[in-house]
Chains A and B, each alone.
Chain A
Amino acid sequence: MHKILRYPLQALNYTLFMLLVWYFSAAPPYAQLQPDQAVITVAFSHAGERREECRQLSREELEKLPPNMRAPMDCPRERSPVKVQLLLDGELLLEEVARAPGLYSDLGVDIYRTAKVPAGKHTLSVQMNDNMRVEGPTYTHEQTVTLEPAQLLVVNFNSETGSFIIQ
């Protein structure tokens, strides 16, 4: 084919290529949320209680230890898993059981869970158990919240004060 005749074909090819690039660079749009939805995120870091209580060593037990290791208390390192439940208007929305990480399962857990919920007024309750020696929740919190569409509500926990913060 003569070179001149190729130019319109080339223009057509470039146009098609650029249309492909342009379209998929921003389309089709992705609806992450419905217009009447909001998001609740439970996100915090917290170390569970020790799996076993610390124990006072007896004099005999201490004497068996090398002098430089004679700590009066024996505290097993393993920590309890942290169980969190989030209830929205009495219905279970999220549940997470996080095992303590680390070689000796002795580190704090990081919890990050997200749920989409209808916008509007809700009763939100959070329950957490961080001590496997205790039955039922060790911390609870309940609060009425009003969620705007597309709002992100974060459920946090302050380990120092032992309280949930919803903001």
Chain B
Amino acid sequence: MYTVSKRVNPVKRMYLLLEEWFTLSFGADWNPLYHLGTLTFFFFWVVLISGLYLFIFFDTSIAGAYASVEHMTHQQWYAGGVMRSLHRYASDAAVVTILLHMFREFALDRYRGFRWWSWLTGVPTLWFVITLGITGYWLVWDELGLYVAVLSSQLMDSLPVMSGSMARDFLAGQLTDRLFTLMGFLHLLGQPILLIFAVWLHVKRLSHVEVSAPRGLAVGSLLALLVLSLLAPATSHAPAELSKVPAVLHLDWFYLNVYPLLDQWPATRVWMLTTSVTLLLMLMPWLPPKKTGPAAEVHLDECNGCGQCAEDCPFDAISVQARSDDSRWENEVVVNPEQCAACGICVGSCHSSNPFRHAKKTLETGIDMPQFPIDEVRARTVAALDELSGDTRIMLFGCDNAADIDSLRSPDVAVLSLFCTGMIPPTLVEYAHRHGADGVFITGCRTGDCYFRLGNRWLDQRFAGRRKPALRQRAQRDRIRVYRAAETDTARLRRELAAFQRDMAALKQEASVPGTRGEAEIADA
């Protein structure tokens, strides 16, 4: 089994503090840091809808563009003006959420190993967003638009593949509507299509991709954007004048931060810097690489091809195909080792992982982790429980990517860390009860923040009976507790575990009093 270092680096500690603050403010379900992707989608919806409105009134000509934007901003401030402000501020907010998304994945070390694809495709996606914003500023055709147009053209001219000078088009007497129309087309259609394609690639290796932000967050964000739009409406600079160079510009630093560099450096050096930073970011998953454990293995003898593991796999690594042996079942599952994160969630999904099966021989399941098979999980659970000498015996299951549970081991508490708590088949909990555990305590990544994306959710749904394999009705739920904790939450976890121990002790005492639920009943359950 792979060991995971429990030292928490300062960046991660800082991030976890921030996460804690947001959980305090919004609750785990609405914690914005858990929904940065869907929030970005939401902001793009706002950008899209406001952009469509603006397009109705926008004049895509050099002579008319500025006047049409000014008309919307001032004469139609209650609709066009608000829409313009929403368009700008939602675009900026999207950059913030994208940068936070990157920071989060970096701080939590969720960009290497099996996650390389999402990171690699995510970096250029940010550039697509930035260029979309750049053409947007261009279209306003004010002093800032002219500045953006001229400097962008200089950047393009410096590329060896470009012939002719695009920057000269912005000198007095040279500019025509054709280039302006081209920019309009790029901003309104070409770049958004490219961006959608990039986002599709970005999430291609994920399953159960969420694109909708929680309603509460969406409503809150929209209200905040609306208030900002009313209090500080987006405005233009003076109209573009080809014979003048604006002295002072109010740049949108979220999108135009590279441009001032062009005042200091030649365009080729700016290209070198941005390209180097981009390449460095893209190569980060291999600096250094992170080893992913061996992929899950399918044991066809125990697999009936039900496809639950394929349904549960967070990384779309399992597919259902026609049976390749002469079994009576119609289908089998196949693991794509390239995409397997070795999380073990599929083991928890498999009905054959029931530890009550094959009590006297090796427990084989339909899909298993070769480095920590379900048979070993069962054996180590039993061995850990057998070692307990305390009065109230607790079986504590944890996960390798959350709070360190080793320090919680005691004569009363047996611990077993798994790859993910989603690896736990519900029957394992009952099995632990049956083998002497007075209570089963499960801890893992913070609620809403599973390292393997869906392990927490699937465990909760299985325990609630909403997902297969479900925890049986007869299982004693009052002897099970789930409390999730990150690496920095050990003290809180210790307190929660102590409280659970007290509850289990009380339950045990209650059971031993005549007239209450008997021990035999508990044991039987």
Contacts and interface: CB of A to CB of B under 8 A. Distances in A.
The judgment on whether A and B are partners is yes
Chain B interface residue number, banded: 35 or more
Contacts of A45: 164-165, 168
B92 interface: yes
Interface stretch (A19-27, A65-73, A74-82, A126-134): A19-27
A62 interface: no
A30 interface: yes
A6 B227 contact: no
Contacts of B93: 17, 21
B247 A35 contact: yes
Interface stretch (A53-61, A83-91, A138-146, A148-156): A148-156
B163 interface: yes
A152 B165 contact: no
B88 interface: yes
Interface in B207-227: 220-221, 223-225, 227
Given A24-B92, A110-B164, A110-B165, A30 B249 contact: yes
B25 A31 contact: no
B164 A154 contact: no
B171 A154 contact: yes
B21 to A, nearest CB: 8
Contact of A24 (B25, B163, B248, B253): B253
B288 interface: no
Given A6-B26, A30-B249, A110-B165, A22 B171 contact: no
A39 interface: yes
Contact of A150 (B88, B220, B247): B247
A31 B247 contact: yes
B248 to A, nearest CB: 5
Highest count of chain A CB atoms <10 Å: which of B25, B26, B165, B171: B25
Contact of B228 (A21, A31, A156): A21
Contact of A25 (B168, B172, B252): B252
A26 B27 contact: no
A31 B245 CA distance: 11
A3 interface: yes
B164 A12 contact: no
A6 B27 CA distance: 8
A43 B170 CA distance: 11
B227 to A, nearest CB: 7
Interface string B452-486: 00000000000000000000000000000000000
A10 interface: yes
A158 interface: no
A21 B245 contact: no
Nearest to A39: B245
Given A14-B221, A18-B89, A32 B249 contact: yes
B247 A43 contact: no
A112 B524 CA distance: 87
A94 to B, nearest CB: 13
Interface string B16-38: 00000010111100001000000
Nearest to A10: B25
A96 to B, nearest CB: 11
B322 interface: no
Main secondary structure of the interface of B (DSSP, over half): helix
Contacts of A34: 247
Contacts of A24: 92, 252-254
A10 B249 contact: no
B244 interface: yes
A34 B250 CA distance: 15
Given A45-B165, A110-B164, A150 B245 contact: yes
B81 to A, nearest CB: 15
Given A14-B221, A17-B96, A18-B228, A25 B245 contact: no
B500 interface: no
A20 B252 contact: no
Contact of B243 (A13, A20, A44, A151): A151
Nearest to B144: A26
Contacts of A38: 245
A161 interface: no
A29 to B, nearest CB: 5
B88 A25 contact: yes
A101 B232 CA distance: 49
A119 B246 CA distance: 14
Given A10-B25, A152-B244, A18 B168 contact: no
B25 A13 contact: yes
A39 B505 CA distance: 83
A1 interface: yes
B448 to A, nearest CB: 15
Contacts of A41: 171
B233 to A, nearest CB: 11
B24 to A, nearest CB: 6
Contacts of B147: 32
A57 B170 CA distance: 46
B246 A17 contact: no
Interface of A: 1, 3, 6, 9-10, 12-15, 17-18, 20-22, 24-27, 29-35, 37-39, 41, 43-45, 101, 107, 110-112, 149-152, 154, 156, 167
Given A25-B88, A112-B168, 6 more contacts: A10-B26, A15-B224, A21-B92, A32-B247, A32-B263, A110-B168
9 contacts: A6-B26, A12-B25, A13-B25, A20-B96, A21-B93, A21-B228, A32-B246, A110-B165, A112-B165
